[in-house]
Amino acid sequence: MALTPSVLHVTQPVDGGVGAYVAGAVADQARRGWRVAVACPRTGPLSGTLDRLGVPWLEWEAGRAPGPSDLVHAARLRRIVQEFGPDVVHLHSAKAGLAGRIAIRGRVPTLFQPHGWSWLAARGPAATAALSWERLAVRWADRVICVGAGEAALARRHGVAGDLLVVRNGVDLRRFTPAGAHERAAARARHGLAADVPLAVCVGRVTRQKGQDVLLSAWERVVARNGRAHLAVVGDGPLLRALRSRAVPRVHFAGGVDDVRSWYVAADVVVLPSRWEGLPLTALEALATGRSLVGCAVPGITELVTEGVGAVVAPGDGAALAEELLLRFEQPALAAAEGLAAASLAGALDVGDSLDSLAAHTLGLVGTSSGVDGAGVADGAGTSGVLSRSRKISDDRGFDGHCQTPCGQ
């Protein structure tokens, strides 16, 4: 085993939860003394974050959507891998997973981390093609890192039969701490909100996946029965302009922000109307801040929003979503009790444990020959020796805000 592991991370997207995850992972691995770099597009926030971390990034221009240019992206990525010479390549999300597995095809030990399966983002024939690709390409990943048990179960259910490892997303419990009444009042004053205004907050990229369109439909029902309620939509994205144009009453579009925690602190309830997820960082952050959660019953959200911390409704059911929000506005004691339970649950979801587990699985591939050597699902168990060796570094990681959801994404 190499004394100084060399890991090349490859990602597109470079923002949102995936960008934040990659920044956190490479920051942790660099602090462990590993040789790390990231292949990613120049545009977007990640390259600047990596510059501030002192982690090298290698320009790899690739768009999000699949297309004929993917073969060009794969060829460019093959050259990057050859020039960097990593012990392990870690591919993040669908585009890197596509180009990277085409480029490498098992010649270098490879981790693939979908961060939400590609076929969930597509519809019709495109979804069928995406699923077929994942079933084929899993042979070119030595390990598939799933961010939650629901993501792994979904793969098994759809016949993606690789070596699936669950390394749950975590939250920085140093940054996201439970907020009390005094801090809540200060956050509301900062955002120009009265202390007694019922407030729901939705944090995330404004996209079809995150379901803010469903939330706005639900909100029309909410304000018809509670004229004082207020909704804050925090984040940027391709659907932001269209949703603003709907002019739904008592909705504030905050856009991308540097400090998402202050919006969680101000909230009575945090809402996640997503159509699909991996294991959303926004949910983890809201839990750690001690806020009630209302979301849609999709894998990833149901893994976190258990009885006592909030409620889930069927995906796309705006009427049910409105009822759950109204219930918590009408019964603030319920929302407060759920917030206490949420903070307690988050105590077992520290990002340091997640990064230790990821490091252990990465080290397990260093010096190995590539090729899928088994199938099944496992969690981070069975790696205690490696975890104990890395614990001191993880405890001293000193993460800053870049390691969790940036700019309200």
Cα 398 from chain centroid (whole Å)? 20
The CA-based angle 78-83-89, given to 5 degrees, is 60
pTM, 2 dp? 0.86
- Within a domain: residue 121? yes
pLDDT digits (tens, 9 = 90+) for 309-366: 999 999 999 999 999 999 999 999 999 999 999 999 999 999 999 999 999 999 999 9
pLDDT digits (tens, 9 = 90+) for 377-407: 344 433 333 333 333 333 333 333 333 444 3
Is the residue at 176 inside a domain?
no
If one counts the domains in the chain, the total is 2
- Is 195 found in the same domain as 65? no
CA distance 37 to 325: 43
Q: What is the pLDDT of residues 218-240, one digit of tens each?
A: 999 999 999 999 999 999 999 99
Let me know whether 324 and 191 are in one domain.
yes
Residue 158 tokens, joined: 């759809």
Of 346, 376, 393, the position where a domain reaches its end is 346
Which CATH number covers residue 102? Answer: 3.40.50.2000
Same domain, yes or no: 147 and 213: no
Among the candidates 328, 346, 364, a domain finishes at 346
Whether residue 231 sits in one domain with residue 318 = yes
Q: Is residue 116 part of a domain?
A: yes
The owner of tokens 């439909």 is: 217
Domain-located, residue 408: no
Question: Same domain, yes or no, for 222 and 337?
Answer: yes
Are 207 and 334 in a shared domain? yes
The answer on 126 and 43 residing in a single domain is yes
With 0-12 / 13-18 / 19 or more C-beta atoms within 10 angstroms meaning exposed / middle / buried, residue 379 is middle
Domain of 365 in residue numbering reads as 6-170+350-403
Q: 296: which strand partners?
A: 313
User: Length of the chain, please?
Assistant: 409
Indicate if 372 and 299 belong to the same structural domain: no
Residue 195 scores a pLDDT above 60: yes
Quickly state the pLDDT bin for 65 (edges 50, 70, 90): confident
Residues in Cβ contact with 208 at an 8 Å cutoff, skipping those fewer than 6 apart: 239, 275
Q: What is the mean pLDDT of residues 88-107?
A: 96
Burial pattern 185-217, b for ≥16 Cβ within 10 A else e, equals eebbeebebeeeebbbbbbbbbbbbbbbbbbbb
Give the span between the Cα atoms of 295 and 274, in whole angstroms: 7
Examine the domain organization and report whether 338 and 241 are in the same domain: yes
Same-domain pairing of 366 and 333: no
Tell whether 288 and 223 lie within a shared domain.
yes
At 202 the three-state DSSP class reads strand
The Cα 39–Cα 61 span in angstroms is 9
Q: pLDDT averaged over the chain?
A: 89
